[in-house]
Amino acid sequence: MNNKLTLGIFGFGVVGQGLHDIIKTKNLNLAIKRFVIKHPEKKRTLPAELFTTDANAVLDDPEINTIVELIDDADAAFDIVSRALQSGKNVVSANKKMIATHLAELIALQHEHGTSLLYEGAVCGSIPIIRNLEEYYDNELLHAVTGIFNGSSNYILSKIFNENLPYATALRQAQDLGFAETDPTLDVGGFDPKFKLAIVASHAYGLYVSPEAILNIGIDKLSASDIQFAREKNFKIKLIPTAREINDTSVVLYVMPKLVSPENILYNVENEYNGVLVKAAFADEQFFYGKGAGGHPTGSAVLSDIAALRYGYRYEYKKHIDANGIAYSTDWELEVYLRYEDENLIERLGFTSISERYYAENYKYIIGKIKLDNILKNRAVIDQKGLFIAEIA
């Protein structure tokens, strides 16, 4: 049955405006009653009566049966979403940090109150990866889910490797286009793809893993020497989140730059596009490709969730029911490239083997194998010293 939805939308930024642009072109059985905004002084493209700064005016309105949450503040978003679910309203959200941090609580609220929270727009923009993990792969054994989950960092890296732009110039272009925020730390520091990876791991493996427990190394320490090394070896650098089954009971999760060769399908995923690679026991290998940044791509994913709510759709979280003792692990060995300065750090990191070393006056690197757990333990030192580390595909 196609139920009519009356929407209360929190946020009218890039995604909120993109969503409205799409909705107004469609003849859907839904209506937007009110937007909740933070800055009433800003000029808007819609009539003033559609906007309010009072969250209660939307959350307590009995005519509004669906809340769409599109704000940046994860703590405020959790309060909004929790109240909405408890009051019997269904919710669509694109807040990956909020969902990744509070997923267990949000699932419990849905079960307790018979409501539905959908969040396709929180992960990989226009790519419907959550719905596919829920529906297509619900009975599949997944060996790995990996790829490019952040359009902002991928845009920057594409400009560096394809147009020889300096990092700072590429970042500024991404900011000018609205792909990266004024403070780009969430994107270039690898936090954004880490939140998305935590959500993906929940649907792929039935795991609740706190984002704080997952390693994220970004591209913010990338130097001209690292770029030159990659070019000389015929690599490109991509920021890659990885969820990988390492045995029947364990899954590893991490976000790191990766040196990818032309044979890797992710090598040609460029600009603001995302690519998700799923390796399954029976379906084998499948690849999803689409825009991962921008108001309209993310808005289209949000609208897909809204449309699904008209028919009573909800996530079933089947992998949580059938998790069978699968646990998160950091006991995994990686082959990495590390640019470093302090020789003592090499011993501290505990490389299990070394295949290549290079020394110059202003540039040293090492290639070898190292435990994921050792990188996690020394993460603060790596950050403090401005080192760059990347997995070799």
- pLDDT tens digits for range 331-361: 999 999 999 998 888 989 999 999 999 999 8
Asked whether residue 236 carries a pLDDT value surpassing 70, the answer given is yes
Domains located in the chain, CATH noted: 5-130+296-321 (3.40.50.720), 138-291+325-392 (3.30.360.10)
How is 302-351 classified by DSSP, letter by letter? HHHHHHHHTTT-----HHHHT-TT-EEE---EEEEEEEES-HHHHHHHT-
Confidence (pLDDT) at 129:
96
DSSP 50: G
Q: Specify burial of residue 51 (Cβ count, 10 A radius: 0-12, 13-18, 19+).
A: middle
Burial class (CB in 10 A: 0-12, 13-18, 19+), 147: buried
pLDDT tens column, 71-119: 999 999 999 999 999 999 999 999 999 999 999 999 999 999 999 999 9
* 71 within 8 A of 11, measured Cβ to Cβ: yes
Model pLDDT, residue 108: 96
* Averaged pLDDT for residues 378-383: 89
Judged against a pLDDT cut of 60, whether residue 271 lies above it is answered with: yes
The pLDDT of residue 23 is above 90: no
Q: Which pLDDT value is given to residue 324? A: 67
Can you tell me the distance from the alpha carbon of 384 to that of 233, in angstroms, rounded to the nearest whole number?
A: 28
Strands 327-329 and 333-340, sheet pairing: unpaired
Enumerate helices (H) and strands (E) in the chain, giving the number of each: 15, 17
What strands lie across the sheet with 66-69, from one edge to the other? 51-52, 30-36, 5-10, 66-69, 90-93, 117-118
pLDDT of 1 above 60: no
d(CA 115, CA 4): 16
Structure tokens at 47: 């009539």
Q: Note the pLDDT of residue 199.
A: 98
Q: What is the pLDDT of residues 175-215, one digit of tens each?
A: 998 888 888 999 999 999 999 999 999 999 999 999 999 99
Per-residue confidence (pLDDT) for residue 70, from 0 to 100: 95
15/189: higher pLDDT: 189
Element (H, E) at 213: none
Using CA atoms, how far apart are residues 13 and 27, in angstroms rounded to an integer?
23
Bigger pLDDT: 324 vs 251 = 251
List alpha helices for the chain, DSSP H: 14-23, 55-59, 74-86, 96-113, 129-135, 151-163, 167-176, 185-188, 191-205, 224-232, 295-309, 318-321, 343-349, 372-377, 379-384
CA distances from 296 to 175, 357, 393 (A): 17, 46, 32
Side-chain-side CA neighbours of 42 within 13 Å: the count stands at: 13
Q: What is the pLDDT of residues 243-265, one digit of tens each?
A: 999 988 899 999 999 999 999 99
Q: Are 305 and 70 in contact (CB under 8 A)?
A: no
- Using alpha carbons only, how large is the chain's radius of gyration in Å? 22
What share of the chain in percent tops pLDDT 90? 76
Distance CA 372, CA 217 (A): 12
Active centre residues (catalytic): 196
Per-residue pLDDT of 121-160, as tens digits, reads 999 988 999 999 999 998 888 999 999 999 999 999 999 9
Q: What angle do CA 110, 116, 121 make, to 5 degrees?
A: 120
- State the Cα–Cα distance between residues 152 and 187, nearest whole angstrom: 6
Mean pLDDT of 360-383: 93
